């Protein structure tokens, strides 16, 4: 069964050779490697061309990552797809092991697995694995932002076509927005516990690194759509609602540092949807939980800020 390994590239000269090599070195024999250069200006295209006829490639003007991913979807010939960002790489058994899993799970549309975290420098993979904890309910995992980044899963091509592929104008959280539409379309997500994909921790200028406010807004929008869909279907279980509101609470804590008014609005929405909500550790340690339960979010945050200032003051003495 043919697997298409699809690599979008934009200004990734430093990494793209490793990405392509890791695709070619996959032990799964029935594969193709397709690269779309999204208008790189740093010499990435020359690196891509150096692989000759071992890969298929094309280039064009810079139109954004999801446009490149959709073009790769059009070019792919395989029934199964492996997306691989140009600054990440695969371990040699990735596709062979996940395709072996597919054989025993005929209805699966997305095989998702943990990923290795890699330093943003030339270092080797760290010992840390981005685990995917139980419960392996994909709705809960999406709410908690625990489904893997683009290279972690193996995707059935037909499932992506059925939801019209990647959203071209999605500024960030691209795979999470796609995960949502796949779940809404009843795509089957299957967990495979082996880790064979490496994700390089953020480096360089991205929307996620330069505009945290937009990232939080997009995350909240995805959670809102999730909740509305699950309520309509009668599938908003207590566990799913808790996961959604725990994720909102964590965004509220991060937002508080920049915009207290917005943070309080997020918490007010949590109270409206789940009046009995109590945040969970580690985002809410024991003393914080107690203050939150008795006095509310704002007081808990102000006391937490005082504690941080005291610790910083003592450290500077």
| Residue 121 pLDDT exceeds 70 | no
d(CA 166, CA 168): 6
115 pLDDT band, cuts 50/70/90, is: very high
pLDDT at 311: 72
This prediction's pTM: 0.93
Kindly state the tokens that stand for 67. Answer: 């446009």
Kindly state the tokens that stand for 3. Answer: 């697997």
Residues of the chain with pLDDT > 70: what percent?
Answer: 93
pLDDT at 207: 47
pLDDT at 6: 98
d(CA 7, CA 156): 16
pLDDT at 153: 98
pLDDT digits (tens, 9 = 90+) for 60-112: 999 999 999 999 999 999 999 999 999 999 999 999 999 999 999 999 999 99
pLDDT at 125: 47
| H or E stretch covering 225 | helix 212-233
Section 252-271 average pLDDT = 96
pLDDT at 120: 65
217 pLDDT band, cuts 50/70/90, is: very high
pLDDT at 309: 81
Q: Vertex 304, ends 302 and 305: CA angle to 5°?
A: 65
Section 149-170 average pLDDT = 97
Instruction: Indicate the average pLDDT of the chain.
Output: 94
**Rg of the chain (C-alpha set):** 21
208 pLDDT band, cuts 50/70/90, is: low
């Amino acid at each position: 069964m043919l697997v298409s390994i699809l690599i979008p590239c934009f200004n990734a000269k430093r990494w793209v050779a490793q990405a392509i090599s890791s695709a070619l070195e996959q032990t799964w024999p029935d594969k193709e490697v397709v690269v779309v250069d999204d208008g790189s200006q740093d010499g990435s295209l020359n690196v891509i061309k150096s692989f000759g006829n071992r890969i298929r490639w094309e280039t064009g003007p810079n139109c954004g990552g999801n446009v490149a991913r959709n073009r790769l979807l059009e070019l792919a010939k395989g029934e199964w797809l492996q997306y691989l960002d140009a600054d990440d790489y695969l371990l040699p058994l990735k596709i062979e092991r996940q395709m072996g899993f597919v054989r025993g799970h005929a209805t699966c549309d997305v095989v998702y697995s943990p990923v290795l975290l890699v330093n943003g420098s030339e270092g080797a993979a760290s010992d840390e694995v981005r685990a995917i904890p139980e419960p392996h309910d994909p709705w809960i995992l999406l709410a908690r932002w625990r489904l893997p980044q683009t290279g972690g899963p193996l995707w059935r091509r037909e499932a992506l076509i059925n939801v019209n592929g990647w959203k071209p104008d999605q500024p960030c959280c691209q795979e999470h927005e796609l995960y949502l539409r796949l779940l809404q379309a009843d795509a089957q997500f299957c967990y495979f516990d082996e880790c064979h994909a490496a994700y390089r921790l953020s480096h360089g200028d991205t929307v996620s690194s330069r505009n945290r406010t937009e990232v939080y807004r997009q995350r909240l929008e995805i959670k809102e759509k999730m909740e509305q869909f699950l309520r309509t279907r009668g599938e908003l279980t207590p566990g799913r609602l808790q996961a959604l509101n725990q994720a909102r609470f964590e965004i509220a804590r991060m937002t508080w540092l920049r915009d207290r008014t917005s943070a309080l609005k997020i918490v007010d929405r949590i109270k409206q949807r789940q009046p009995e909500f109590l945040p969970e550790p580690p985002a809410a340690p024991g003393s914080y939980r107690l203050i939150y339960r008795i006095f509310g979010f704002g007081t808990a945050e102000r006391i937490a800020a005082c504690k941080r200032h005291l610790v910083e003051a003592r450290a500077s003495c």
